Structure 1
Amino acid sequence: MRVGSRLVEVDLRPIGSVLPHEETITDLSSRLSDQIRADGFQRDPIIVDRENHVVLDGMHRLRALRELGARHILCHLVDYSSPEIRLERWARSLKGVKRESLAEILKDSRIDRRVSRKEAIELVDGRSTPVAVLTSGSCFVASSSFRSLAESFELVRRLDEASRAMGLREDFIEEEIIETAIPNPGSVVILTPRVEKKEVIEAAKGGRLFPHKSTMHVIGIRAVGVNYPLSELQEEEPSQEVRASKLEGAKGSILDPPVTYFGRRYWEKLLVVRQE
């Protein structure tokens, strides 16, 4: 697909050939499935590592389309080894947390070692602790040392379950805005170790998926707004005429980051396909 002077590789792939690396949330995939069914198309391609067939972004779209009986899925294929593709992380942000609720969560999860904010971030970044919990006052890390990424994310799952059980609101924020989130009264930020690209590939190929929103991939330019017909994705042999009209003759514009598109904020250039 070429829009202006920019060339990106967007094409169909058999839906069974691509591998997720993160778990999905049933409610989110169900709502997305309903939206795709109502729209009648897959709006944005999922991001896929061309060599290993690993889904870097779009786990819920993949699940939703599978549930809709799609045999193919629209993919933006990238070279994952390229330094242009950055692997970053989300932080979990809890709002309206009362002191007693925080104490209960920390006690149950054995996150009871009090440290400075600087030390907490250094420990989790250096994989000396499985998780760090940051507040406007104290910061905490697990009393146990880091053993494996799997163990770290299992602890994150327990924290997610505990916060949901308490009715706490959980958001996901970019690293760039952690410092602005922490000072707010009742705000708690949960920070996990950074994941490496090879670990993403290993998780996908081994079927040992990371929790939802464990990774954030930022690519050089991302194609959106393709609107590929759902009926075509459900075909065993999609029409080559439709493929040519949607992918080879695309026109559109490029938006510079940061940009918000359909309620989601992006940190890379967006190649927005214009529908004729």
Structure 2
Amino acid sequence: MNNVISSRPVSYTINGDGIQLDIALVEINKLLLHEETIQKNVDELFAEIERTGILKSPVIVGREFLVVLDGMHRVEVLKNMGCRFMCVCLVDYMSPRIKIDRWCRVVLSQIPIEEIITDFGDLGVVTRTVSSASEGESLMLMLEEGYYKVTTHENGIISGFATVTNIEAWLRRKGHTIRYETERDATRMLKQREAGFVLCPPAIQKKHVIEISISGSVFPPKATRHIIPARPFGIDVPIELLKDKVISIAEANRQLSKLLENKSIRRIPPGYRWGSRRYEEAIYLFK
């Protein structure tokens, strides 16, 4: 519980879309992660940041416990670079304006349901037909012909995600390609016959994120999808500032504040695409 904060320096505050976004530098070793990182992604991002010399956007962090909600790979990269500070966007995690959703595993190729039931049974799970995909913490399988609930031998959110990891490994061994999509996009792809079937992981609650972060454990990659009403982009913090071993955190934040005050900022409505990801929230873009 020693990560609880009462006050800390903030470089820039945005009040918009019903949420307060506090952009700040914090000590990177104080941040708590809740998801594993993918080494390939870490390596690619490391190369990009090393080439540009800047961190383009802050990671989204819950203000109370410093739990990283979005940006696990950026934190891992900057740790590997020896950075002392991380640029974060602090938010009130328990605000009802912040939602938590899941990333669905979309398999493009067709697999007969009989094969799925047989092979998933070998993984220690059983499937049964259900009426819809919204069954809370249950692991769900969506096919064109209907929905199935995947039951694990052990109860709990951790067991459910362990099963997801096993199923993903089985699919990749079989040569199937897996894409991570929002539940809305995954459902659309299934209806339009662009996907063979969809695996919906158990729905995680905010309390699960906080509990597992504080415990020092992590969920598998792509376990959560946090939906924030708005987020900042285009901060472009120099990596040299984040590596500085001498400067105080207050002075570091003053330098970041000066950097941001010299930029213009504009709001971009939801639907903005940044790289390969489309954001359903508003974007405050610094230029």
TM-score, normalising length: structure 1: 0.88
1:161-176 pair list within 5 angstroms: 161-176=169-184
Q: Residue in 2 aligned with 1:113?
A: 127
Q: Could you say which residue in structure 1 is the equivalent of 2:25?
A: 12
Structure 1, residues 140-179: CA drift from partner, whole Å, max 9, x if none?
Answer: 3234466111111111111122222223211111122232
Q: 1:143 to 1:152 in 2, by over 3 A?
A: closer
Task: Compute the RMSD of aligned alpha carbons.
Answer: 2.3
The CA deviation string for residues 75-134 of structure 1, in whole angstroms up to 9 with x for no partner, is 000011111111111111111244386456423324442314x24x24x32x4x4x1111
Q: 1:31 to 1:208 in 2, by over 3 A?
A: same
TM-score, structure 2 as length reference: 0.85
Change (3 A) 1:143 1:217: closer
Contact 2:106–2:178, Cα closer than 8 Å, also in 1:
yes
Instruction: Give the equivalent residue in structure 2 for 1:217.
Output: 226
Q: Helix, strand or coil: the match of 2:180?
A: strand
Structure 1 segments unaligned to the other structure (5+ residues): none
The change in CA–CA distance for 1:232 and 1:101 in structure 2 (over 3 A counts) is farther
State how far apart, in whole Å, the 2-side matches of 1:16 and 1:89 are.
27
Residue 62 of structure 1 corresponds to 75
Contact 1:3 1:253 in 2 (8 A): no
**Residues 165-210 of structure 1 deviation map (CA, whole Å, 9 limit, x = unaligned):** 2232111111222321223265221112211111100011112211
Aligned to 2:236: 227
Task: Give the aligned residue type for 2:75.
Answer: L
| Identity fraction in percent | 26
- How far, CA to CA, are the matches of 1:13 and 1:203 in structure 2? 21
Q: How does 1:119-134 map to 2 (within 5 A)?
A: 119=132, 121-122=133-134, 124-125=135-136, 127=137, 129=138, 131-134=139-142
Q: Distance in 2 between matches of 1:96 and 1:54?
A: 36
1: distance between equivalents of 2:151 and 2:210? 30
- Structure 2 residues not aligned, in runs of 5+: 1-11
Match of 1:142, SS state, is strand
CA distance in 2, matches of 1:12, 1:217: 21
Structure 1 residues 4 and 82: alpha-carbon distance in aligned structure 2, compared to 1, 3 A threshold: closer
* Cα distance change of structure 1 residues 150 and 3 upon mapping to structure 2, 3 Å threshold: closer
> Would the aligned equivalents of 2:161 and 2:202 in 1 still touch at CA under 8 Å?
no
| Structure 1 residues 267 and 5: CA distance shift in structure 2, 3 A | closer
- One-letter amino acid of the counterpart of residue 241, structure 2: E
Alignment match, 1:187: 196
